[in-house]
Structure 1
Amino acid sequence: MNVPMRVDDVFRSAAREAGDAVQLLLADGTEITYAQTYERAARLAGALVSAGVRKDDRVAGLMRNSREIVEFYIACGLAGVIGVAINAMSTEREVDRILADCGASAIMVEARLLERVVSCPQVAGMGLRIVTRQERVPLGWEAYDAWIARSKPIERRDGTSPDDPAMMIYSSGTTGAPKGILLRHSALVLNARMTSGVLGTGSTDRYLAILPMFSSFGHAFDFLQAGLVRASTVIMEQFDERVAVDCVERLRVTFIAGVPTMFARMFDPANIAGRDISSLRLIDVGGGPVAPRLKQLLHDDYGLEVVESYGLTEISPVASVQPPGGDNAIGSCGAPLPGIEVRVIALDGTPASTGEAGELQFRSPTLMIGYWNQPEATAAALRDGWLRSGDVGKLDERGHIHILDRTKDMIISNGFNVYPKEVENVIAELPGVQSVAVVGVPHEISGELIHAFVVASPDVRLNEEEVLRHCTRALASFKRPKRVTFVDAMPLTGSGKIRRVALRELLASEHMSGKKK
């Protein structure tokens, strides 16, 4: 049997070998088989090629979890194009910036998100614009269902290979500019195969897609891993803790991958009381540290097997995972996946000893191709074949990874990575802002809340409400500060850099020296 090494190969094989198996379950109870999904994806691929989309063109997708985003990913592989996954919470400005950077020749947009793109200059110049879930569409746009119904399906474009780029996911950089992380087919498939092998999921499992599929982890778990093992996936358009528990109970979900904040909300006593979740057997928690209290609650009160994983988009995306039923130490993220090498480099640049903290670095065939159009950033991240994660961790005696801290300044809010510089750049646009710094504040439910510190010009009256209103217009919801504190001056290092540690200490102190104006 041929081993699939491209994303589209995975679903071609599933359609041929298990075509009648249920791949997707929608909120309204509709069941969609692997054969049905693949047939529509092949039609979408044919429509893209017929419309003049060329091999390795970038095709953007702005969609929440749905059958259409699944078809989009498969079709991009069949058509030999690069799928650009855009966060569905992005603002019009953020979308336009991404489209300008990647040079997308086409875009596929969910109807409910259409208002965010219709006025984008980049979208106006595209030759192909597609709307899903809507029959009546604006002039110059194609209605998805009718458009693919007229198309002839294709098997796969000639000249494609497993080493082709498959998708690009944008992540904010430390400079505040978005970086397109380019991932190849073979890396995505290999990573998904290794992860599902450790987790032991199979065709009898039923996944619940609470992670957004526009993210690398949602794509990996609920789309690609599920497809590899021919499991079924229950589609949630967006996370809601009540709906999630209802899906577990009603549709007999067996496996969920998510971030700590999701499970904290799902398993809140007020939300879970009286519900039958006996079908659920395994939970994979990633995207941030898991509170021991939550892990104990899931295991002791609900009898659930809970494993922790660690990864980053640049590694396609899982680096390590705890095996179910294993002797998993508290605070560990498990051993690196087979084929992934890890080393820890101390602050002085030398290899760290066992138990010593340092930067985690990885070498693997699943590493990214690089950052789109950013050769310097790529060279800085990939050195001599090793990926510099920017995360601080250590290895224990068994070689298991322990995360001690994240990238120096990054904030994780509701499972999403937020780089302060991007938020700071937006706030700095306001007249009268002399200096701005953003830090994360620990929060039991959200992981971290975003808090902004601002130094305003003496002759300008600027208040918290104005800053928050500006951020609402310019930033996705998970990137927006919850509070703003005005200070007379920023604490600085000897080299003139803002001391974020001092700002965090300032928040923790009961006697803040800075006052809101």
Structure 2
Amino acid sequence: MTYWPDPIPRRLDYPAVSVGELLTAVCRRFADQVVIEDGAEEVTFAQLLAESSALAHALHADGLGPGDTVLLHLPNGRDYVVAYTGVQLAGAAVSPANPLHPVDGLRHQIQESRAVAVLSHPDHVESALRAAEGTAVRRVVTTAGSAAAPAAQDPPDVLSLADYAAGQPTEPPAPKATSEDIAHLAFTGGTTGVSKGVRVLNRNVIANVTQAVAWRGGYAIDLASGELELRSFGRDDTGLQAGRGVSVVAGPMYHAQALINTLFMITAGARIVIMGRFDPDVMLGLIESKRATYLNGSPTMWHALLACPSARTRDLTSVQVVSSGAAPIDLETMKALRSVFPSAMLNEGWGLTEGTCLVAASPAFHGARRKLGSVGQPVPDTTLEVRAPDGTVLGPNEHGELWVRGPQVSDGYLGHDELTAEQFVGGWLRTGDIGCVDEEGFVFISDRLKDMLIYKGYNVYPRELEELIVQYPGVDGAAVVGRPDAAAGQLPVAFVVAKPGAEIDPVQLQAFVAERVLPYKKLREVHVIDKLPSSAAGKILKAELRKQL
């Protein structure tokens, strides 16, 4: 019997609006409340709507609207939220870009996304200008600095956001985008490893935000009257109360996980505290001083927080939800988080950019059931099947590739029809993740399809080995990859990071793992390194480790 947390409906109603229309309604609903804290600066919902509206009108005056793409080449900061909201009010699509992207990579994204405008930051705009040369970009605008995103240098002679939007109306323009227009062109290596833009439509974003508000806050989004109503489903044990949440944003908003979670929190009327460059002690201080209630991050971030001495001395009891995503989290880290955040529900979620963001998670209700090692259940209106390589649907607890269908599944890859046809099949998305679903509907992720090793014909899942390795005394983190071998296929090799002051004997660690796994899963090598390479979003870069082999 599939478990489901009553009274959350399995089917939701989704407003037939654009992201810009939703944000307009949200800003009007919570007008006088603070939505952004960036250092000492506070921005209310009404101020956000006014600034974003002026930007939207400026974009319209430049001839931009539905069908056009604006590159957001910005670090986290109050202007990121203003820029994102302004582009959505204009009906154009945003293509979030890492501000530290090398020029060649940035040019690739500009060309692939067909961007015609770039919103950049004073410290990064030189790269944007160089990358835009010879492309379709006809407008580059630079934001100002802020406490979270300070400007260390004066920008070149580029139009500022303040001047660009000066004199424009501060009421939102009439909606131009439809549900079928692109809202996000989010770039990802995804299931194929090729960097490409995912066509995330307005209806996909609206669906995923609606699912998140229901699954993590217990509310339905109702815009039938033209005004926003967050209608409670009747749960009184949720970790997020409408209009009262506080979240410290540390993950990069150019990544789908942080962007969609920030959008979800804003829709629920939460206050977003934006920190600058990630510093675990600074983040812990903000959590304590701002009485944060909801945290979202990746295992890399949690490891850094747990390693910080002040994690055991600060008052962190205000936190009601700790949500982890972007990469699998090991059980030892989950246990440690319980001691640091004693009042919090610990939720691991799972999703991917091709699915807008959220696909499965534990509901953020204190009374909801959870299972250790599970990423929860598919969110409302989401169907998940486990399939064998030949497409056969497998039964409970059988491992295979996870296929997903739901309103948040995106429209494919821009300009890559063949890749789209391979990954989006008959309304289903092939996720490239390997896992199983138990008889109660709880989802367990084994590994990425491309990370799975084959040793003498046997499947070896790195995550299983990584879970064991981090139980060994002194291990702070681990990643397992395959070394090509002519006779065996691939040999499991571990890269391990030691805790401060600890020493790890590779031979003893190999023996520890060998005692706990079948012979074909044994580690053939252990390399102790200072740090595991990771992306800004917190994903371990296993390709970098494979290069070392």
TM-score range, shorter chain: 0.7 to 0.9
Normalising by structure 2, we get a TM-score of 0.74
Which position in structure 2 is the counterpart of 1:268? Answer: 307
Rounded to whole Å, the distance in 1 between the matches of 2:396 and 2:191 is 29
Does the 8 Å CA contact 2:480/2:492 hold for their aligned counterparts? Answer: no
| Residue 320 of structure 1, CA deviation | 0.8
Report the AA paired with residue 391 of structure 1.
D
Rounded to whole Å, the distance in 2 between the matches of 1:116 and 1:451 is 34
Q: What is the root-mean-square deviation in Å for CA atoms of aligned residues?
A: 3.1
1:221 aligns with 2:261: yes
Which position in structure 2 is the counterpart of 1:509? Answer: 525
Which position in structure 2 is the counterpart of 1:362? Answer: 404
Report the AA paired with residue 197 of structure 1.
A
* Equivalent of residue 485 in structure 2, options 491, 499, 503: 491
Residue pairs, 1:106-505, within 5 angstroms? 106-122=117-133, 126-133=137-144, 137-139=155-157, 141-153=158-170, 155-156=172-173, 159-172=176-189, 176-200=193-217, 201=240, 202-222=242-262, 224-268=263-307, 270-303=309-342, 304-323=344-363, 324-325=365-366, 326-409=368-451, 491-492=485-486, 499-501=489-491
* Structure 1 pair 491–399 and aligned structure 2 pair: CA distance change class (3 A): same
Does the 8 Å CA contact 2:20/2:175 hold for their aligned counterparts? Answer: no
| Residue 126 of structure 1, CA deviation | 2.7
| Residue 227 of structure 1, CA deviation | 1.8
Normalising by structure 1, we get a TM-score of 0.79
Q: Which moved more, 1:440-449 or 1:17-26?
A: 440-449
* Structure 1 pair 292–177 and aligned structure 2 pair: CA distance change class (3 A): closer
Does the 8 Å CA contact 1:260/1:447 hold for their aligned counterparts? Answer: no
* Structure 1 pair 229–126 and aligned structure 2 pair: CA distance change class (3 A): same
Per-residue CA deviations over 1:26-54 (Å, capped at 9, x if unaligned) read: 1x221110010111111111111112224
Report the secondary structure of 2:130's partner residue.
coil
| Residue 62 of structure 1, CA deviation | 0.8
| Residue 346 of structure 1, CA deviation | 1.9
Q: Which moved more, 1:377-386 or 1:301-310?
A: 301-310
Identical aligned residues as a percent: 24
Rounded to whole Å, the distance in 1 between the matches of 2:424 and 2:437 is 21
Which position in structure 2 is the counterpart of 1:459? Answer: none
Report the AA paired with residue 282 of structure 1.
V
Rounded to whole Å, the distance in 1 between the matches of 2:22 and 2:114 is 28
Which position in structure 2 is the counterpart of 1:61? Answer: 72
Rounded to whole Å, the distance in 1 between the matches of 2:303 and 2:70 is 36
Count of matched residue positions in the alignment of Structure 1 and Structure 2 = 443
Report the secondary structure of 1:111's partner residue.
coil
Does the 8 Å CA contact 2:186/2:256 hold for their aligned counterparts? Answer: yes
Per-residue CA deviations over 1:117-162 (Å, capped at 9, x if unaligned) read: 23225477632001111695423x2111222123334633554212
Does the 8 Å CA contact 2:129/2:140 hold for their aligned counterparts? Answer: no
Which position in structure 2 is the counterpart of 1:37? Answer: 48
Rounded to whole Å, the distance in 1 between the matches of 2:121 and 2:476 is 27
Does the 8 Å CA contact 2:49/2:170 hold for their aligned counterparts? Answer: no
Q: Which moved more, 1:323-332 or 1:334-343?
A: 323-332
| Residue 99 of structure 1, CA deviation | 0.8
Per-residue CA deviations over 1:316-370 (Å, capped at 9, x if unaligned) read: 1101111232221111111100001111102342110110001100111111111
Rounded to whole Å, the distance in 2 between the matches of 1:302 and 1:374 is 44
Does the 8 Å CA contact 1:60/1:107 hold for their aligned counterparts? Answer: yes
Rounded to whole Å, the distance in 2 between the matches of 1:79 and 1:129 is 17
Does the 8 Å CA contact 1:286/1:309 hold for their aligned counterparts? Answer: yes
Rounded to whole Å, the distance in 2 between the matches of 1:129 and 1:374 is 27
Rounded to whole Å, the distance in 2 between the matches of 1:59 and 1:446 is 40
Report the AA paired with residue 114 of structure 1.
V
Does the 8 Å CA contact 1:203/1:230 hold for their aligned counterparts? Answer: yes
